[in-house]
């Protein structure tokens, strides 16, 4: 395993805070303040893990995925598309849409991507900050499917293994790479695999 990932795990152990029973806050380097030099190491690591894969678009979801996806994209030399969250009910035929149940708020929202930016022939890598139950990932899969594009794989900074979204995605044959896998947050203790 790369040194970068040791760096990430150290950072999670040092700065991560457990909220409630199942939420990890990493606001000091990922979700609010952003350590872009760490992001660059993460980008290199994803490039290594998806070496040999043809990828021409990176897809993420606003807002928390955008920063990391932009840095990762520099190593893949391709654009980033962020799916927009929207409350608009009747959206014209110019967009692909999917519903996502929000992990942090429990609400259901729509995500959209304009048809002009995604279509058949595109080879897509999803990049996101967290993988929990996998609902955001499934929403992205739906958009990729509607576009007739190909989902090459998914890369997450942090996967919470005790929430099983990752198991489900891997069982479907999706190439999922998570850089730090959290076994448990029980008793406010961060256990990393």
Q: Least distance to ligand 5GP from the beta carbon of 120, Å?
A: 26
Q: Which of the stretches 46-54, 135-143, 147-155, 171-179 binds ligand 5GP when contact is defined by CB under 6 A?
A: 135-143
Nearest to 66 by CA among 85, 52, 48: 85
Task: Give min distance, CB of 183 to ligand 5GP, in A.
Answer: 13
Residues 149 to 188: which contact ligand 5GP by CB under 6 A?
Answer: 160, 165
Residue from 71, 132, 154, 169 binding ligand 5GP (CB under 6 A): 132
Identity of the residue, 152 or 190, whose beta carbon is nearer to ligand 5GP in the bound complex: 190
Which residues lie closer than 8 Å to 15 by C-beta, 6 or more apart?
26, 28, 29
Q: Which of 185, 183, 93, 79 is nearest to 125 (CA)?
A: 79
As a whole number of angstroms, the distance between CA 23 and CA 113 comes to: 28
**HSE toward the beta carbon, residue 186, CA cutoff 13 A:** 5
**Site of interaction with ligand 5GP (CB under 6 A):** 23-25, 31, 61, 64, 103-104, 128-137, 160, 165
């Amino acid at each position: 395993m790369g040194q970068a990932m040791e760096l990430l795990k150290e950072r999670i152990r040092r700065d991560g805070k457990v909220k409630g029973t199942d939420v990890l806050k990493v606001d000091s380097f990922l979700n609010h303040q952003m350590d872009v030099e760490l992001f660059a190491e993460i980008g290199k690591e994803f490039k290594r893990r998806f070496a040999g894969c043809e990828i021409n678009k990176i897809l993420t979801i606003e807002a928390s995925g955008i920063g990391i996806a932009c840095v990762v994209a520099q190593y893949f030399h391709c654009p980033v598309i962020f799916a927009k969250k929207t409350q608009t009910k009747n959206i014209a035929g110019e967009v692909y849409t999917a519903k996502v149940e929000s992990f942090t708020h429990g609400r259901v929202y729509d995500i959209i991507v304009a048809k002009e930016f995604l279509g058949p022939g595109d080879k897509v890598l999803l990049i996101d900050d967290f993988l929990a139950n996998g609902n955001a990932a499934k929403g992205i899969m739906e958009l990729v499917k509607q576009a007739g594009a190909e989902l090459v794989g998914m890369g997450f900074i942090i996967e919470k293994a005790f929430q099983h979204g990752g198991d489900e995605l891997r069982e479907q044959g999706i190439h999922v790479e998570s850089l730090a896998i959290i076994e448990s947050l029980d008793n406010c203790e961060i256990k990393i695999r």
